[in-house]
């Protein structure tokens, strides 16, 4: 039988105190909604319906082309939200997974187990539950003396006795699709919040003597529902541990996994060493045997093998094998650092391609440069790429030697093996093999310093 899925994502998330809809807050680099969607994909639903409402267009963008969407114009409760999917699903034979968009830690594995359990027990409804040490805020699972689930009560509707119950509703369920939409016709708003609760369908099924069950998660962490920023930080921590553990099991060394922040879609090859206080974001990839030291921050970049990055920032760039970077270097977007090149301390590279074995050891700015192989930048070299309005390219051939404290005023081209004298301002092309000196000649006046205040003769 087919599987269907409904993701509830119409709420505002008042307790987040945010302009952004709750499900668009990120955990380890992707939105909570994407986490949920990825988990749901594990059950290969034939139809995936996302219920949107608050800032619907923003939410729709995140799953565009991957889900169908139905609009819940007024957020009248989770039961009302599911009703919105009726036009898409009612009448179909199959199992329908309903999941809240604010439970980013639930895994695809658990959802598969939930479906299997539901099918094996021939249930009409199966609730994914967990045991919470502090169940406050969650709906409680109420069982009879035989241990059968009879209903779910919300925190605000629970009696003192019911509030003692530690088994909670994760907000994830599997239903017989047809029976779900029939039962939803019978829910009402007679409760503490005046909302249509999805959870009320459980007692409706029970009263009709239909089989209801619960599949208990072993790991409470998975069930975490994010309603405020405190829970968001908790989710982030759990996700971080999960991600880092996966990398460790794949052969990556971490000096302090609790102080290492790696987004879900980052890939790291074996034998990489990740020291403490490292952030790897977006679609970053790190090649084998590379070393990232304290303070390194890399966004959407591809790092090759045997690269050493020391306390530096790299954004949207490509770093080839054997490169050494830092400390305190900044590689800005659209840069490519060639094999075995070296970008040292206080060097900034932006929108530039750097050839193999090229070195910029200290205090240099390389902006919009097309730089060949085996180039040496002396300390304090500046590619002056900007005239206040437009950016221009500096093209530098192979084996060029740029003396310290030189300014290359773009657009300008330096030929292969040319030599730029230290302290030059270069604003004309330099042919291959030439020496260019772009500075005043030195004037030396013999004996002129004698008698000046600094001179020992005046002391």
- What is the C-alpha to C-alpha distance for residues 107 and 42, in angstroms, rounded to an integer? 9
With binding defined as CB under 5 A, does residue 225 bind Ca ion? yes
> Considering 95, 118, 121, 362, which one is annotated as catalytic?
362
Using the 8-state DSSP alphabet, how is residue 22 labeled?
A: G
- Pairing relationship of beta strands 26-27 and 68-71 according to DSSP bridges: unpaired
In the chain, helix, strand, coil percent, each to 5?
Answer: 20, 30, 45
**Residue 231 Cβ vs Ca ion, minimum distance, rounded to whole Å:** 9
Residues facing 49 on adjacent strands: 6, 68
With binding defined as CB under 5 A, does residue 236 bind Ca ion? no
Residue of minimal Cβ distance to ligand UD1: 139
Contact pick of 102, 154, 195, 348 for Ca ion (by CB under 5 A): 102
When the beta carbons of 217 and 436 are compared against ligand UD1, the nearer one is 217
State the binding partner of 139 from ligand UD1, Ca ion, none, CB within 5 to 8 A by kind: ligand UD1
Asked about 362 being catalytic, the answer comes back as yes
- Chain residues 345-364 in contact with ligand UD1, contact rule CB under 6 A: none
When the beta carbons of 10 and 111 are compared against ligand UD1, the nearer one is 10
SS3 for 119? Answer: helix
With binding defined as CB under 6 A, does residue 6 bind ligand UD1? no
Contact pick of 34, 154, 356, 373 for ligand UD1 (by CB under 6 A): 154
Q: From 52-60, 91-99, 223-231, 250-258, give the range in contact with Ca ion by CB under 5 A.
A: 223-231
With binding defined as CB under 6 A, does residue 139 bind ligand UD1? yes
Q: Which of 280, 326, 288, 291 is nearest to 304 (CA)?
A: 288
* 304 in Cβ contact with 322 (< 8 Å): yes
SS3 for 34? Answer: helix
Interacting residues of 83 by C-beta distance below 8 A, sequence separation 6+: 181, 184, 196
- Pairing relationship of beta strands 273-274 and 253-254 according to DSSP bridges: parallel
- What is the C-alpha to C-alpha distance for residues 198 and 157, in angstroms, rounded to an integer? 14
Q: From 101-109, 235-243, 276-284, 346-354, give the range in contact with ligand UD1 by CB under 6 A.
A: 101-109
- What is the C-alpha to C-alpha distance for residues 338 and 307, in angstroms, rounded to an integer? 11
Catalytic machinery residues = 362
Binding site for ligand UD1 (CB under 6 A): 8-11, 23, 51, 72, 75-78, 80-81, 100-103, 138-139, 152, 154, 168-171, 197-199, 225, 227
Binding site for Ca ion (CB under 5 A): 102, 225, 227
């Amino acid at each position: 039988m087919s599987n269907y899925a409904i993701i509830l994502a119409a709420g505002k998330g008042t307790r987040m105190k945010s302009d952004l809809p709750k499900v668009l807050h990120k955990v380890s680099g992707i939105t909570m909604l994407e986490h949920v969607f990825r988990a749901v994909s594990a059950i290969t639903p034939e139809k995936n319906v996302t219920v949107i409402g608050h800032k619907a267009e923003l939410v729709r963008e995140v799953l565009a082309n991957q889900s169908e969407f139905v609009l819940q114009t007024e957020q009248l409760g989770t039961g009302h939200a599911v009703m919105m999917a009726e036009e898409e699903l009612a009448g179909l034979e199959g199992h329908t997974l309903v999941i809240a968009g604010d439970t980013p830690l639930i895994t695809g594995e658990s959802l598969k187990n939930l479906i299997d359990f539901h099918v094996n027990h021939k249930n009409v409804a199966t609730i994914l539950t967990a045991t919470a040490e502090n169940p406050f805020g969650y709906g409680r699972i109420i069982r009879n003396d035989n241990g059968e689930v009879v209903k779910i009560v919300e925190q605000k509707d629970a009696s003192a006795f019911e509030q003692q119950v530690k088994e909670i509703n994760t907000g994830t369920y599997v239903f017989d699709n047809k029976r779900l939409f029939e039962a939803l016709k019978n829910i009402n708003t007679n409760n503490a919040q005046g909302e249509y609760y999805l959870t009320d369908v459980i007692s409706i099924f029970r009263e009709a003597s239909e089989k209801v069950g619960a599949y208990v998660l072993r790991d409470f962490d998975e069930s975490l529902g994010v309603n405020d920023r405190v829970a968001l930080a908790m989710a982030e921590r759990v996700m971080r541990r999960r991600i880092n553990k996966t990398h460790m099991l794949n052969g990556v060394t971490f000096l302090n996994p609790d102080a290492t922040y790696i987004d879900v879609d980052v890939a790291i090859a074996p034998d990489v060493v990740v020291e403490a206080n490292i952030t790897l974001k977006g679609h970053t990839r790190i090649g084998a045997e590379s070393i990232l030291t304290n303070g390194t921050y890399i966004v959407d970049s591809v790092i090759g093998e045997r690269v050493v990055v020391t306390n530096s920032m790299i954004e949207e760039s490509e770093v080839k094998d054997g490169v050494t970077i830092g400390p305190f270097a900044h590689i800005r977007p659209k840069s490519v650092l060639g094999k075995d090149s070296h970008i040292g301390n206080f060097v900034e590279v932006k929108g530039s391609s750097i050839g193999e074995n090229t070195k910029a050891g200290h205090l240099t700015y390389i902006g919009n440069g097309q730089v060949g192989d085996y180039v040496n930048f002396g300390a304090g070299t500046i590619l002056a790429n900007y005239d206040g309005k437009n950016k221009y390219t500096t093209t530098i051939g192979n084996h060029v030697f740029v003396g310290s404290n030189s300014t290359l005023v773009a657009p300008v081209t330096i030929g292969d093996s040319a030599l730029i004298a230290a302290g030059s301002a270069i604003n004309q092309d330099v042919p291959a093999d030439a020496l260019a000196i772009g500075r005043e000649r030195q004037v030396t006046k013999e004996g002129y310093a004698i008698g000046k205040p600094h001179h020992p003769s005046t002391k």
